Structure 1
Amino acid sequence: MRPVDTPRATAALWEITTPGHPGRIGGVAMAGFRARATGPLDLAVVPYPAVTVAVDLGDGPLAVGDAGGERETGSVVIGLAPHGLRGRGRDIECLQIRLSPMVAHAVLGPAADLGGRIVRLDDLWGRDAARTQERLRAAGSWADRFALAEAELARRHRDGPAVDPEVAFVWRQLVTHRGDVRIERLAAEAGWSRKRLWSRFRSQTGLTPKHAARLVRFDHAAHRLAAGHRPALVAAEAGYADQSHLHREVVAFAGATPTAVAAAPWLTVDDEAWASPGYLRTV
C-alpha cells in the first residue's frame, strides 16, 4: 500500500517505523504506519510486485475496497496487481508486510491465487489471525511487533508448501531483469513448455508470467519517474516500445498519467518505508 495525499488526507502526520536489521526470511519486508489526522483518511493503493498483508492495529477499523465494489475491514491480505484499491479509516495504525509471491504461497496458502482480490486475514489463518493481531496490539514497541510477526511468518514458511523450483526461477528472472525479458525464453530455460509455465505460475502466484513481468516493470518505471527522469527516457530504459506504451501501462496499473505519478507524494513515503525492498529479494 502506498499512502497518497488526497484533499481529506493532507492533514495527516505519518509516523513510519522500519526494522533495525534485515529479516531472517528472504522475500519479506515490514513497516509500521501510524497516522493522526483531523478527519477520515482516504488512501489510494497502487500495485506492487508483492502480496500485501495489512494488520490493523488502530482504534478505528481500517477499510479496504476496490473498484469493483469488494470491501473488507480489519486485517486484510491484498493479492498482486489490485485495481482501484483504496484504504479508508481514522487514526490509522497498522503493520504492513510485503511478501514475495514465492513466500506468500507458503505463509498464506490460497492467497497466492488471489490475483488482485482482497480477503480478510482470518479467512486464511483462522483463529490464529485474531491471536496474532492481539499479540501485536499488546506489544510494547514496534521492534517487538516486528519480531512477533517475523516469528509467525518463519513458522508458517517452514511448514507451508513451497512453489515449484521452475516457478521460483522464473520469478527471480523477472525481478532481475525488471520485467524486461521474454517469457518464452524463461520457459525454455526452466525446461517447461509455455503452456505448462503459464498454468503452474498462475496457480501459485495468482498472475500469468506476462502480467507479473508487466507489474515488475511498472514498479521500476514508477520509481524512475518519481526520481525526476523524463518519461521518454524511462520508457527506453524500462524496455517499453515507446512513450505511449509507458503511458498506457502506467494508467492501467496506477490509474494516473506518468506526470501525475512522478509528482505523487506517496512515492516519497514509499521510499522512506521501503528503502530496502526485501520483498524483491530472491528466495
Structure 2
Amino acid sequence: MRFTRPEPVWDVVCPSRPSRIPGVVMAGFRDHGVNPVDQRTLPHPAATLVLDFGARSPIVDDSAGQWRGSLATGLGAGTRRVRGEQIECVQVRLSPLIAGAVLGASLAELTDAVVLLDDLWGREAARIRERLAETSSWTERFALVEALLARRRGAGPAPDPEVVLAWRRIRAGHGLVRIDTLADEVGWSRKRLWSRFQAQVGLPPKRAATLIRFDRAVHGLAAGIDPARVAADSGYADQSHLHRDIVAFTGVTPTAVVGESWLAVDDIAWPPRADVPSTN
C-alpha cells in the first residue's frame, strides 16, 4: 500500500543556517491566505514553542480546551487541531535537554498539555510578539528568537549528565534501546533512571523510545515506504503492531495520519540537516 501526501497549507521559511544553540531548530510559518487553516498536529519527540505575531492568532483545540496565540507544549504533545487565518508565527522545536530551561517550566508538567506563553513568561511574551511584528524580515526574526532562547537557556537549570546520556542513546538508536541496558550504561538503577528521566524529559524512557519509533514510522509511511518495511525498520513486531501504536498516539488509522497536511510541511520546515540533532 502507498499513501498520497496532501499539499502543505503553509508558506514556510527556514533559517539560512542551523541554530547556534544545540537542540534548537526553528521555522517561519505564514498561511497561504486562500482558505482558513484547519490542520491536525501529531505527537513529536521535541517540545514546541509557537511565537505568534500575525494579524490574527492561531487557535488550538483539543479535548481539554481551546487556546489562542503564542503557546508551548511538552514532549510528545497529543493530536490537536490548529485553526485560523492571517497567521504568522515562528515555531521552535526544542530538545528536552534544553526545553525546561528555555520555557521556564517542568517538562513533566507540560506533557500532553498546551500552555499559553503569557502564563509561562508573563510580560516577556507580549514583548517578543511586538518585536516580531515590528521586524521586517525573517532573517531578523530568527536572530531575535535565537538571542531570546540563548538568554533563557543560560538562566535555566541543566539536566543530569545521566539523563543527557540516556536521551542521546535513545535518539541515536531510534528508540530501539533496552531500558535495563541503558540504566547499566549510565550507572543508575532502573527505578532512578525512570524517575529522573521522566522529571527532566517529561516522559519515562520507555515512552520516549516508543514516541521516537512512532515518529520515525509515520515519516517512513509518508515517504511512500512499504508499511511492512517501515514496521520492521522501526522495531515493530509486525504491521498490526505498527497500526496499534499509530492509533494509540493519534486516535486515527495510519492511512488517515499520512493523509494529514501536517506531515507535508515536515520535510520543508524541518529538513534532516536542521532537525533537532539525535545527539541533543
State the TM-score, normalizing by the size of structure 2: 0.92
Kept in 2: contact 1:49–1:216 (CA 8 A): yes
1:137 matched to 2:133: yes
Aligned pairs (5 A) from 1:193-232: 193-232=189-228
Kept in 1: contact 2:25–2:93 (CA 8 A): yes
Highest relative contact order (Cα 8 Å, sep 6+), 1 or 2? 2
1:279 matched to 2:276: yes
Kept in 2: contact 1:56–1:62 (CA 8 A): yes
Aligned to 2:98: 103
Change (3 A) 1:51 1:91: same
Moved more, 121-130 or 141-150: 121-130
Kept in 1: contact 2:39–2:260 (CA 8 A): no
Aligned pairs (5 A) from 1:95-244: 95-113=90-108, 114-244=110-240
1:58 matched to 2:50: no
- Report how far residue 13 of structure 1 moved: 5.4
Q: How far apart are the structure 2 equivalents of 1:265 and 1:158?
A: 36
User: Which residue identity is paired with 1:102?
Assistant: L
1:92 matched to 2:87: yes
Kept in 2: contact 1:13–1:37 (CA 8 A): no
Cα RMSD of the aligned pairs, angstroms, is 1.8
Q: How far apart are the structure 1 equivalents of 2:107 and 2:97?
A: 8
Give CA-to-partner distance per residue, 1:16-58, whole Å, 9 cap, x none.
Answer: 1000011111110000010133443211110111001111111
Kept in 2: contact 1:55–1:94 (CA 8 A): yes
Change (3 A) 1:269 1:229: same
Change (3 A) 1:86 1:265: closer
Give CA-to-partner distance per residue, 1:105-163, whole Å, 9 cap, x none.
Answer: 21113152211100011211121111111111111100000000000101111121001
Instruction: Say how many residue pairs are matched.
Output: 274
**What is the percent sequence identity of the aligned residues?**
53
Q: How far apart are the structure 2 equivalents of 1:277 and 1:262?
A: 22
Aligned to 1:29: 25
Q: How far apart are the structure 2 equivalents of 1:158 and 1:45?
A: 30
User: Which residue identity is paired with 2:233?
Assistant: E
Q: How far apart are the structure 1 equivalents of 2:101 and 2:170?
A: 20
1:70 to 58, 65, 68: 65
Change (3 A) 1:13 1:218: closer
Kept in 1: contact 2:51–2:70 (CA 8 A): yes
